[in-house]
Structure 1
């Protein structure tokens, strides 16, 4: 039996989800002769001890103690501001790192981290979980197989059912950086093309405190790709119908929609149409439950050297560049070119 020991830093909302998913990996991997063990730490020690106990994991009192315990990989699920330091700590320990997006609070802070990773010849997987969602995977396959013809329009939608705490939004970097960056990443990944220009607008019709901390609750971005194709990326914090994430890809031969199923958070206005009739998702964790599990399984495979990196830090920073341009356009009211984007096909 091959043992893989993962260390997890941060057991807040998303960290607790990752911890649970790591604990579940054994059900799928033990038949392959792989046992996954989990050690974790968090500054909220009592909560972390409770999570560890519930999952049969080991609690350690600090990041330093965690890294010194002999890990095969490190999972970072802490606040964005701590990502650079923890990624570097993983590189210094000589182990692969999984880090939730983004690499850093902004692109300028991320670039030295990329240099550090390269200098250490390190391996870092960034958490853009939509790359593991079955619908997005099928859409990418169909596009690359030429089944859609040439693409004339793309429409990406990400709608939260309710906003997170204003305290979080005050430090999130803005709706495009916090939320729509997932859409920017998936559009690059699916099409294999760079987004070179963004024109954004936003509004605030919900809690005025969101505007008071410098954010918007709803926004729309018109994106232009390096081959001239156009698309839209929309997001809101107030979709009372449920958590709604979709991507419509319209081609010259065929069109596809990711996220259109019986749990889609919308209703038809046409008489007699009952679809969709299921209970909508209420959170991103529910919508992408299987994708998050597959993402963590992929990290274990990466640790074992069995697969290529499914989302590199360079990928994540490229999506963040688009988000930065969208935030700049939102602030200025003008179209903004994406810094560093050149007309070339994404690998």
Structure 2
């Protein structure tokens, strides 16, 4: 049985707590949060103890950690995990600073601590099936990849100001997906972006609508499109095109009902947001984390994946600001 200490009892902490409840041979025994009431409420639901951060890292009743706290704390807590020598599952990103994230990665590797980064979309059944077909050569050599990711509504501007911007906060998932599906590191990044949804986002120094083109040494091209607003729901799609055909992973709908009549053909909207869309992915990723610990096998994602995705995010930001492509070679 893997006994988890959960750091962070906010929205994503609750998501991981719910996922752990569905994972065999795993349970959460301790919860810590800077908001005591949030920790107390979640701990009571889980039958866990509320502890301080210091107690968390000194507890003999915790075998591994889940870091689901605010982004600016991830690196510090990962360092603590390295110090105590216990495995850790950490939400993305490692940090908003590439240099600090790199130092954190080096510390984790030096300590030899198993570390998995929460790029949950790799574990979505639709996307993982697409990956399996790419590996099997179903469409032959991959030539172009199109990734669409649109949120139903923008977050508060107060969040935008501390998020690191659309490239580091939202698109970082898509950078990881692009690396994973291309199976080759991008060597060139070109980004454009605008504040079309909310002028306040632009005033905060960010954009809410962005597109990035990635290219690799072999010539593969990936295009990522993000928007902070989609009036019809959470838009999550991937298209892979190759020499022998095309693969598509489309939206998960609220239901499978289809109406056909003289007015046309109608289906349900996409599921509302990530909590519904990626519920299975959160459970599967934590299941695989536990299995990797029990079987002493390599983690399916690591802090190195987080580092490379952040590198692409930084390059995209630089390209957007300069209006020029960025060469990563």
| Alpha-carbon distance between aligned partners in 2 of 1:248 and 1:303, rounded to the nearest angstrom | 33
| RMSD across aligned positions (CA) | 1.8
| Alpha-carbon distance between aligned partners in 2 of 1:247 and 1:108, rounded to the nearest angstrom | 31
Shift of 1:55: 2.2
What SS does the corresponding residue of 2:295 show, helix, strand or coil?
A: coil
Name stretches of at least 5 consecutive residues in structure 1 with no aligned partner: 342-347
Match of 1:105 in 2: 96
What SS does the corresponding residue of 2:287 show, helix, strand or coil?
A: helix
Report if aligned partners of 1:140, 1:191 keep a CA contact under 8 Å in 2: no
Find out whether 1:132 has 2:123 as its counterpart.
Answer: yes
Superposed CA deviations along residues 158-207 of structure 1, whole A, max 9, x for unmatched, are: 10000111111111111111111111111111221111111111111222
Superposed CA deviations along residues 124-171 of structure 1, whole A, max 9, x for unmatched, are: 100000111111111111111111112222110110000111111111
Candidates 182, 191, 198, aligned match of 2:173: 182
Report if aligned partners of 1:72, 1:303 keep a CA contact under 8 Å in 2: no
Report if aligned partners of 1:200, 1:333 keep a CA contact under 8 Å in 2: yes
Shift of 1:109: 1.2
Name stretches of at least 5 consecutive residues in structure 2 with no aligned partner: none
Superposed CA deviations along residues 90-142 of structure 1, whole A, max 9, x for unmatched, are: 11111101110111112111111111112111211000001111111111111
Residues 1:181 and 1:35: Cα distance change in structure 2 (over 3 Å): closer
Match of 1:225 in 2: 216
What SS does the corresponding residue of 1:103 show, helix, strand or coil?
A: coil
Match of 1:307 in 2: 297
Report if aligned partners of 1:73, 1:303 keep a CA contact under 8 Å in 2: no
Shift of 1:16: 1.2
Match of 1:207 in 2: 198
Find out whether 1:88 has 2:43 as its counterpart.
Answer: no
Instruction: Normalising by structure 2, report the TM-score.
Output: 0.93
Shift of 1:272: 7.2
Shift of 1:301: 1.7
Match of 1:116 in 2: 107
Candidates 9, 20, 28, aligned match of 1:11: 9
Residues 1:298 and 1:327: Cα distance change in structure 2 (over 3 Å): same
Most deviating of 253-262 and 226-235: 253-262
Match of 1:285 in 2: 275
Count of equivalent residues? 323
